[in-house]
Structure formats: C-alpha cells, structure tokens
Amino acid sequence: MRFDKHEEHAFLLILLDHVFIRRNQDAIISAVEERLSIWNQLPASHQEDMQVLRYGPTNKYGAHMDGLGRVMSVLIYLIRE
C-alpha cells in the first residue's frame, strides 16, 4: 500500500492511540502551527512536535507535571463525522 502524507497520517491514527507529528512536516501541519502561534502569541518556532492522542470512553487527560517547563499545552479535539 502506498499513501500520500495526509492518507498516511489518517492511517496511523486508525492503528495507534498515540503518534507524534513533526513540526513543519507539510503545509497542513505548518498551517495549524501558524494558527496556534497567532492564538497563543508565541512564535511557531517555540512549539514542540504535535502529539495526537486517541482517548476512549474511559480515558481522560489530567493535569500533570512532566518537567519540561512548558508555558502552556493546547488541546484540539478532532471529531469524526
């Protein structure tokens, strides 16, 4: 099977509960990073790679300390229609 970059992202998300997407990987990722930069008023160069997580009905995201000195975390919800 051969996938273009966008199909590959979707395929990985179907198989995995957690995937990293490198910064500036393609035009769509760069556009998301730029919109986040405008929203959070921090340069896109200060952002980490994106983490895409799939939470099931019993999973949750909770406040935690991971020692990385982040200024903020941004959650974006994706919904399959």
List pLDDT tens digits, range 10-57: 544 455 678 888 888 889 889 999 999 999 999 999 888 888 888 878
What is the domain range of residue 64?
Answer: 1-81
Rounded Cα distance, 45 and 4, in Å: 26
Confidence of residue 8 (pLDDT cuts 50, 70, 90): low
53-69 average pLDDT score: 79
| CA-based torsion, 45, 40, 30, 67: positive or negative | positive
Which amino acid makes up residue 70?
A: R
What's the domain count of the chain? 1
pTM reported for the whole predicted model: 0.64
Confidence of residue 60 (pLDDT cuts 50, 70, 90): confident
